[in-house]
Amino acid sequence: MHVSNKVKDLPPYLFSEFQRKKEQLQSEGVDVIDLGIGAPDLPTPKFVIDKLVEEANKPINHRYSSYNGIPEFRQSVAEHYKTRFSVDLDPDTEILTLIGSKEGIANLVHAVINTNDTVLIPDPGYPVYRTAVQLADGKVAYLPLDQENGYVPRFDQLSNDDISKAKMLFLNYPSNPTSATVELNTFLKTVTFCRNNNILLAHDAAYNLVTFNEYRAPSVLQIPNAKDCVIEFGSLSKSFNMTGWRIGYVVGNKEVIKALSTLKSNMDTSQFIPIQKAAATALNSDLQGVQENNKVFEQRMEKLYEALVNLGLKVNKPRGTIFLWAKVPDKYNSMEFSTKLLEEVGVIVTPGTAFGPLGEGYIRISLSVTLERIDEVIKRLKKFTNQEGKNQ
């Protein structure tokens, strides 16, 4: 049957080969531990589920939502921004409900660029930015991020040509995959760069509540007058363990929100009303549940971080996200190292190259397994490094 070139040209799903090997090893009785998972393993807080059930039982909630999301959810996002970041947002014009932020990110590109327009995307970065640009017939220019500079944008690395042709820039802190975090000053520099070059900054804040210790991730909208060139995506997926619920939002520049809303009104009719109501309850809670989750991820992170350092792997200690980003030993590339880990000790990690060319030499390790499983991972990593030592 007919299949578009657009779809044919999408990159092959990198994990399918790992998935095949995983299934093969499992059928041979190997206890495979999957640290390639990009989603939290903890349950959604009970008060959120209770609210969903309560609202799902009301027939009045079985209708279509309004296209831009129910007022109650948009109001909850406005309140959340006010209490957490002291940012004022108009729920009617500066906030839009999304069916998960991934949906919004992918559709945004279509609402903003024309064919062959350039979009700057972080390298390494979340793969959806690149495929979204490709699907919208845009051109990708990589904004290089590197460990030596703490993974902050270095606009001096971009060519004048790319800068002048760029219509938008994606950024993501706390970052998937590198777990890098920033201070407000980095956002100030970025907003200034975007304003001076007439570029829309689309900040993906999927992990902005998933932080450790005293660190609080800033919002790019805290920069004065940021709304003139900025939008920010938020998600309940990672902070409230609601990946399957498909609920998120985008806030910021009115014109861009309107364009995205117009595009979306021709494609979907927002999210199920009870899901939006339950999500509003979550966002306007005291965030105690989020703190508890963060403690769980922090404990796992501390344990695995220490073990990796003891094994001689170079890894930065994250202040947020559910990932560790580690350098592989010099003699391997990302894919070789990941493949060897799976074949020799049954541990799946994600090769850094899945996130862009500069991911080469790194692996992303998910913290979405229990402490007991992390103990087992550490045992296996020790065995792996001992074998490696003997093979030299």
Ligand X SMILES: *Cc1c(COP(=O)(O)O)cnc(C)c1O
- Residue the block writes with tokens 């344990």: 303
Using the contact rule CB under 6 A, the part of the chain among 67-75, 131-139, 156-164, 236-244 near ligand X is 236-244
Q: Candidates 98-106, 217-225, 283-291, 327-335: pick the segment binding ligand X (CB under 6 A).
A: 98-106
The Cβ-side half-sphere exposure at 17, using a 13 Å CA radius, reads 12
Minimum Å gap between C-beta 205 and ligand X is 9
Query: Which of 200, 202, 206, 230 is the binder for ligand X (CB under 6 A)?
Result: 206
CA distance 86 to 88: 7
CA distances 93 to 69, 74, 222, 248, Å, are 12, 10, 18, 16
CB of 37 to ligand X, least distance (A): 11
Sign for the pseudo-dihedral over CA of 291, 327, 153, 141: negative
* Closer Cβ to ligand X, 51 or 238, answer by number: 238
**Under 8 Å between Cβ of 144 and 125:** no
User: By three-state DSSP, how is residue 246 classified?
Assistant: coil
Whichever of 289 and 346 has its CB closer to ligand X, that residue is 289
- Token readout for 66 is 């309004």
Binding part of the chain for ligand X, among 5-13, 95-103, 111-119, 214-222 by CB under 6 A, reads 95-103
With binding defined as CB under 6 A, does residue 123 bind ligand X?
Answer: no
Least distance from C-beta 217 to ligand X, angstroms?
13
**Nearest to ligand X of 113, 250 (CB atom):** 250
Contact between 208 and ligand X (CB under 6 A)? no
Closest distance of CB 170 from ligand X, Å: 10
**From candidates 93, 131, 134, 243, binder to ligand X by CB under 6 A:** 243
Number of residues that bind ligand X (CB under 6 A): 14
Q: Is 248 in the site for ligand X (CB under 6 A)?
A: yes
Residue 102 within binding range of ligand X, rule CB under 6 A? yes
Q: Is 36 in the site for ligand X (CB under 6 A)?
A: no
Q: Rounded CA gap, 37 and 321, in Å?
A: 13
Tell me the C-alpha distance between 176 and 208, whole Å. Answer: 11
262, containing H or E segment = helix 254-264
The CB-of-208 to ligand X minimum distance in angstroms stands at: 11
Kind of pairing, strands 347-348 and 118-123?
A: unpaired
Give the orientation angle of helix 15-27 with respect to helix 334-345, to 10 degrees: 10
DSSP 140-155: EEEEE--GGGTT---G
Return the range that interacts with ligand X (CB under 6 A); candidates 2-10, 96-104, 276-284, 363-371. 96-104
Q: Where on the chain is the footprint of ligand X (CB under 6 A)?
A: 38, 100-102, 126, 172, 176, 204, 206, 235, 237-238, 243, 248
